[in-house]
Amino acid sequence: MRRRLRSSTTRLCLFVPRLLLRTYCGHVQVLTLEGNPVAQLPNYRARVLVLLPRLLSLDGRGVTPEERERASVLVQAEAASLAVMLSNAC
């Protein structure tokens, strides 16, 4: 029996863009994406803060250590929830 996974439901589709972002943009300290459709995604700011640990300002707002910590917790919780949903779907 052949099983198929859609790339939209695998971690691979999430891993590649993150790896590229960290590799080529990891040095970025100031980033503005206002007006970009990606900024409308849920938890956008938290995700960007986790992906870019050197970021000091996002969309004209400074980044505090407390916000960075909250972002890390939120993104980890979101990933755990997604993993449970995907495991229940198979």
The mean pLDDT value for 24-36 works out to 80
Tokens of 17: 């863009």
Helix axes 65-89, 44-51, angle to 10 degrees: 100
Assessment of whether the complete model's pTM goes beyond 0.85? no
Model confidence pLDDT, tens digit, residues 44-87: 899 989 988 888 999 999 999 999 999 999 999 988 888 888 88
For the chain, report the end-to-end CA distance as a whole number of angstroms: 14
